[in-house]
Amino acid sequence: MNKQELRAGGLVAKPGEKVQGFMTVTGTDYQMPATLVNGTGEGKTILLTAGIHGGEYPCIQAAIELGRELQPEKVKGQIIIVHIVNPPAFNARLSYINPLDEKNINRLFPGDPKGTISQQIAWFITQELQGQADFYVDMHGGDIHEELPPYAYYPGVASAEVVAASRAVVVKLDVDFIVKSSATTGAYNSAAIRGLPCILMERGSSGLWSPREVELYKKDLLTVLGVQGLIEGYDSVPDKESMEITKAVYLDSTCSGCWYPAVKVKETVKKGQKIGEIRDFFGEVLETFYADFDSIILFVTSSLAIGQGDAIITYGI
């Protein structure tokens, strides 16, 4: 029998108990809806966070539904689910930023306990939530201006043990692509560098959601829990084999203006092929982008408006 209490942000779940409520970021009055599931058997502690970006809806709805559906008597171990890390952005229907300080929480990890509210949120997740976890899932999807297929990342900049443990989980997911990340920023990459196996999941597109997408999201989350030994019956072979991407290019805009992609998500492109351009408000071309190598398109910004430094396209092989 599990005898350890599960504590996070002021919420406490005793062994065999599920608690739902608002966890509070230490030292602030900022609150995030969450579920703690403290299973009846011994096992790992798994952290799931959704809604670091408030316009990514399938992951948020999946977290809400999974929080309602999971029951302690069916769990060996402990599960922390943060339904929405960024409620102010969700309520305001904003992409990326937290409107309280106009910062992107996902670019601030591991955070700062004395910084702005978004930096404090990142610090809280790092220290209090990731700090007690054995595995972490950072849940994302296509934000209001993003078009992408279902895919997942695993960290590439971490110890060999962390990379292997993360990849062993991601290959079980039912997604189109799995990508080995070369980045060092973001909630999951920061966790991996500090020794926590983790993945980032993407499902949904253009700030929309559907019951089907949510069901598929939950299926993958249950697979993670199954692979980690917390629940039974979900450590299965995925319905399709994912294409693994080990080299990816993430293009950002170098200027503001209007963005015109020349390719679509999942389209294959050749080296030197035009993949998009930015024009000014009079239709004059400011910059044109070309593929550096034969590859497949993983992500495209779908909005006409583009700002300097915004992500515009990702491709890889």
Q: What is the pLDDT of residues 191-215, one digit of tens each?
A: 999 999 999 999 999 999 999 999 9
pLDDT value at 45 more than 70 = yes
Same domain, 239 and 257: no
Instruction: Give the mean model confidence (pLDDT) for residues 143-160.
Output: 96
SS3 label, residue 135? strand
Instruction: Give the mean model confidence (pLDDT) for residues 28-52.
Output: 98
The pLDDT score that the predictor gives to residue 236 is 67
Same domain, 224 and 97: yes
Using alpha carbons, list the distances in angstroms from residue 134 to 43, 236, 246, 310. 10, 21, 25, 33
290 in a structural domain: yes
Same domain, 125 and 222: yes
| Residue 215: φ, ψ to 5° | -60, -40
pLDDT value at 272 more than 80 = yes
Range of the domain at 218: 6-243
Q: How does pLDDT run across 218-253, given as a tens digit for each residue?
A: 999 999 999 999 999 886 677 778 999 999 999 999
Question: Hey, what are 32's tokens?
Answer: 């995030």
1 in a structural domain: no
65 in a structural domain: yes
Q: How far is the C-alpha of 298 from the C-alpha of 314, rounded, in Å?
A: 5
The pLDDT score that the predictor gives to residue 234 is 82
Same domain, 85 and 28: yes
Same domain, 189 and 302: no
Among 210, 243, 276, identify where a domain stops: 243
Give the global pTM: 0.96
pLDDT value at 39 more than 80 = yes
109 in a structural domain: yes
Same domain, 207 and 64: yes
What CATH number has the domain bearing residue 135?
A: 3.40.630.10
Among 219, 243, 267, identify where a domain stops: 243
91 in a structural domain: yes
Using alpha carbons, list the distances in angstroms from residue 219 to 65, 91, 172, 203, 225. 12, 27, 11, 12, 10
128 in a structural domain: yes
Q: How far is the C-alpha of 223 from the C-alpha of 50, rounded, in Å?
A: 17
Those residues with Cβ within 8 angstroms of residue 102's Cβ, 6 or more apart along the chain or in another chain: none
Percent of the chain with pLDDT over 70: 98
Among 225, 243, 261, identify where a domain stops: 243
What CATH number has the domain bearing residue 286?
A: 2.40.50.100
Split into its structural domains, the chain has a count of: 2
234 in a structural domain: yes
Side-chain-side CA neighbours of residue 57 (13 Å): 15
Same domain, 22 and 116: yes
Q: How does pLDDT run across 52-96, given as a tens digit for each residue?
A: 999 999 999 999 999 999 999 999 999 999 999 999 999 999 999
The pLDDT score that the predictor gives to residue 132 is 98
Same domain, 198 and 281: no
Same domain, 267 and 160: no
Same domain, 213 and 225: yes
Using alpha carbons, list the distances in angstroms from residue 162 to 107, 125, 165, 196, 202. 21, 19, 5, 7, 20
pLDDT value at 156 more than 80 = yes
Q: How far is the C-alpha of 103 from the C-alpha of 113, rounded, in Å?
A: 15
pLDDT value at 104 more than 70 = yes
Q: Between vectors from CA 217 to CA 212 and to CA 218, what angle results, nearest 5°?
A: 100
Q: How does pLDDT run across 110-149, given as a tens digit for each residue?
A: 999 999 999 999 999 999 999 999 999 999 999 999 999 9
Same domain, 236 and 267: no
Same domain, 225 and 289: no
The pLDDT score that the predictor gives to residue 239 is 74
The pLDDT score that the predictor gives to residue 1 is 56
Instruction: Give the mean model confidence (pLDDT) for residues 288-313.
Output: 96
- Max Cα-Cα span within the chain: 69
The pLDDT score that the predictor gives to residue 135 is 98
271 in a structural domain: yes
